């Protein structure tokens, strides 16, 4: 059997950066296993995903580069999964560099650069600006522009 690569993430608001890292990690081995953080585990990490866990897991499992998607529900799970799935490489985004060095005794560690210009955090920041008041202001502005266009016609 060839090399098995393992990675983890929340994969909320799935975007091209997520796809890029999965695609690049798959190139390191013959099998890619992806741990998708549960909603409960994300709460422990201080994250609140927009997309529910079951949907995020299904999205990740549906990606052609992914051979198996599994739930991730605790930090200690990484060492267990490495043994259970006979993992050769643990790959993570460069923003996690150094955080899992304690696993270097059982697995090769690979940290890949993030895709420039895209992040779930930034997407959430932009979307948060669209609260109800802002949406109403935007609708009002669009209505005003429509009225001006109508008067000019």
- Enumerate the β-bridge partners of residue 68: 33
Residue 48 falls in the annotated catalytic set = no
> How many CB atoms neighbour CB 55 within 10 A?
14
Alpha helices in the chain (DSSP H): 16-26, 39-44, 53-61, 77-84, 120-128, 132-152
Residue 3 falls in the annotated catalytic set = no
Question: Which residue out of 3, 47, 99, 139 is catalytically annotated?
Answer: 47
Q: Based on C-alpha coordinates, what's the Rg of the chain?
A: 20
Question: Which residue out of 45, 48, 99, 139 is catalytically annotated?
Answer: 45
Q: Are 83 and 76 in contact (CB under 8 A)?
A: no
HEC secondary structure over 102-123: HHCCCCEEEEECCCCCCCHHHH
Q: Kindly report the backbone phi and psi dihedral angles of residue 42, in degrees, each rounded to the nearest multiple of 5, phi listed first.
A: -60, -35
Catalogue the active-site residues: 45, 47
């Amino acid at each position: 059997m060839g090399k098995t690569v393992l990675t983890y993430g929340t994969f909320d608001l799935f975007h091209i950066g997520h796809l890029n890292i999965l695609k690049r990690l798959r190139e390191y081995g013959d099998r890619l296993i992806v741990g998708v953080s549960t909603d409960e585990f994300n709460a422990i990490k201080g994250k609140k995903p927009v997309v529910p866990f079951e949907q995020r897991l299904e999205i990740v499992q549906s990606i052609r580069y992914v051979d198996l998607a599994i739930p991730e529900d605790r930090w200690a799970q990484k060492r267990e999964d490495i043994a259970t799935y006979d993992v050769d490489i643990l790959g993570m985004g460069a923003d996690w560099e150094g955080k899992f060095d304690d696993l270097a005794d059982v697995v090769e560690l690979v940290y890949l650069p993030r895709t420039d210009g895209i992040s779930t955090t930034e997407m959430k920041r932009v979307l948060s600006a669209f609260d109800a008041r802002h949406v109403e202001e935007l609708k009002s502005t669009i209505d005003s522009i429509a009225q001006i266009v109508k008067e000019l016609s």
